[in-house]
Amino acid sequence: MKVTVTTLNDELFVLDVSEDLELENFKAFCEIESGFPAKDIILNFNGMPLLDDKRSLKEHGVHDGDVVVLLHMLQTASNLNQNDSSQALPTGLANLDFGSIKVPTSAGQASASTSMAARNPPVEEDPRIIREMFLANPDQLALLKQNNPRLADALLSGNLDTFASVLREQILARTERQQQRIRQGGYRMMNSDPFDTEAQRMIAEEIRQKNIEANMEAAMEYNPETFGTVVMLYINCHVNGFPVKAFIDSGAQTTIMSAACAERCNIMRLVDTRWAGIAKGVGVQRIIGRIHMVQMRIEKDFLTTSFSVLEEQPMDMLLGLDMLKRHQCNIDLKRNVLRIGTTGTETPFLPESELPECARLSGYSEDEIVNQSMRDHEERQVKEALEKSKQVLGDPSRTILPSDAFGEAEVEEIVSLGFTREQAIVELRRFNGDKTQATVALFAKSLKF
């Protein structure tokens, strides 16, 4: 059976043990997980301490899925006696001379020391030191680009103030989440009714987060390569005699080229605008037209292909499935080459140092780079539409609708009893405007027996 153990320090772990395991052996397992000596551990179940070490968990009434609170006696005693330290001194401290200790004599000195501490943050939170550590470790910098692109962009911008601002914002957000989690789940989770659905939900969420962290730690230990960014497949080629770095994409239906690259290769004059349209994928882009036939040279082979010219395309050229199937191309990842089946020619894929700027390692995938601006525009439009709808309709949980069988007076009367406006409106709607039944329901929900 699985037993969840929680401590006063908000630590949580799950033990998979037999129901016939004696309590003293269960404490030994808790010592391994928590680091507290077994002799200093007291286990609390359903508000009562488990005292008989020779009895099994089953005899103590602990079953599969139950939660046990672990108390460290030394820590608990220190917490209980902390407020009484001013009343009595331990033996041996009464003879010590405290006269040499200097205490600030004014509020100005205290504020000055506080401001000095604020100007000198701890080493682990100093933005300058953190930035230098990342810049000196390329592996950690690549991992930061993968997991936290916003902080990585601020770090690589070269502006220390920008990096410090983003770092401080993320640290505060993390601290706030931790404090909120402790506020919501701390005391209540350990001391509430074990059948309380909210407490059980918090425990389940804690277990889920622990499982996710354990899964990530195992992946980082045994499969660290999965956290790296894959270099996209590019080859060198020539279009109309001009060198171009082409992206190999077997997931693209057609071969495309940017308008800027077509201008550079002097083939923009061949664009047939009758084939203009819209390209839809992750985003939406405008197709200027189509170039029906162009010679492209890969190594010593001259191949004929066609292009769809896109107006806004960060990549110069993308070889799609139509081109790859026509010339029976084979993507050999073991040898890291592209083999042209019709001629047998092989060309190597480019290393990261030779890739174009838009294909360098970053926290975004290739599709995200291509369509980022279009997605941002669409998201802005959706947000604007939502804001307009809220302004027109208002929040239904806070607004009295024409179809409601109650008025503002009933809502205000219930709010004066200590409930929120949302709670009052929801319960009045539930009981079709009956103020008495809504009030009784709200009081029943707020009471715990």
User: Tokens representing 144?
Assistant: 């930061």
Burial of 247 (0-12, 13-18, 19+ CB in 10 A): buried
- Phi and psi (nearest 5°) for 52? -85, 105
**What b-and-e string marks burial along 212-236, b requiring 16 or more CB atoms within 10 Å of the CB?**
eeeeeeeeeeeeeeeeebeebbbbb
Q: Are 312 and 285 in contact (CB under 8 A)?
A: yes
How, if at all, do strands 67-72 and 2-7 pair? Answer: parallel
CA distance linking residue 220 with residue 19, whole number of Å: 34
Residue 259's φ and ψ, nearest 5 degrees, are -65, -35
User: How, if at all, do strands 284-298 and 301-310 pair?
Assistant: antiparallel
User: Residue written as tokens 């059980």?
Assistant: 200
Would strands 301-310 and 256-258 be described as parallel, antiparallel, or unpaired? Answer: parallel
Q: Environment class of residue 246 by beta-carbon count within 10 Å: exposed (0-12), middle (13-18) or buried (19+)?
A: buried
Alpha-carbon gap, residue 286 to 281, rounded angstroms: 12
Q: State the Cα–Cα distance between residues 11 and 186, nearest whole angstrom.
A: 10
Residue at token pair 């993507």: 331
**Active-site residue identified among 16, 40, 161, 249:** 249
Catalytic: 153?
A: no
**62 neighbors 37 (Cβ within 8 angstroms):** no
Fill in the DSSP letter of residue 183.
Answer: H
Determine how β-strand 41-45 pairs with β-strand 242-248: unpaired
Q: DSSP 3-state assignment of 92?
A: coil
> Could you list the active site residues?
249
